[in-house]
Structure 1
């Protein structure tokens, strides 16, 4: 079972890798057979490519965890997405992700974006 502190540290490390554009370092935070349900892919390579695409489109984008909830080997994270202009009167995007952790690394992920989808902007 993952402790709350271990899970929070793992989430913060991943977000730090994204926010500082050290995408290759984030691979160490994921198991070799990591599965992303939103991307429908195994391994972290597709996630790293998605991060690079997003940053190329929105160079100032960053994510900041607002809530981290832990239950057994699952971690739910609600993050604000900064650096993406939202239309007037529309809240900026919020990222909601659930991760399964195995041996101190991300093993599986689910996620949705609430608000304007930065991939469509």
Structure 2
């Protein structure tokens, strides 16, 4: 079972891997059967590719957890996105829900707000 402190630490480690571009280290934080609902894929390889695409387009992009709410084997995270200039000055945000299994990420759902359509994660990754 993943404790509240373990879940928060895991999320912060994942964000640190993203922010420092140590994508390979993030793979160890995910179960082999990890499922990303936004990407519709199993395994972390597609997530790592998505991270590479996003950071290639936005080299200064960083995510910072503002709220981490843990309930059982799930956590909801609200993160600000730094390093992306928007025409209206909006602060882009990510909203993610994770399910954990044995101390690792097993499943993820996500949405974003504050991004202009041409630079939203969905647009950059070619998702509807």
TM-score tier after normalising by the smaller chain length? over 0.9
- Which stretches of structure 1, 4 residues or more, deviate above 6 A after TM superposition? none
Aligned counterpart, 2:13: 13
Alignment of 1:1-121 (within 5 A): 1-88=1-88, 90-116=89-115, 117-118=120-121, 120=123
- CA distance 1:58–1:119, shift in 2 (3 Å): farther
State whether residues 100 and 107 of structure 1, in contact with CA within 8 Å, keep that contact through their aligned partners in structure 2.
yes
Q: Unpaired runs of 5+ in structure 1? A: none
Q: Alpha-carbon deviation of 1:2?
A: 2.1
The RMSD of aligned alpha carbons is 1.2
The two structures have a TM-score, normalised by structure 1, of 0.95
Residues 35-57 of structure 1 show CA distances to partners (whole Å, capped at 9, x for unaligned) of 00000000000000000000000
Output the CA distance in 1 between the equivalents of 2:4 and 2:55: 29
Corresponding residue SS for 1:59? coil
TM-score (norm 2): 0.90
CA distance in 1, matches of 2:121, 2:99: 25
After TM superposition, give the deviation of residue 118 of structure 1 in Å. 4.5
- Report the alpha carbon displacement of residue 76 of structure 1 after superposing the two structures with TM: 0.4
SS, match of residue 18 in structure 1: helix
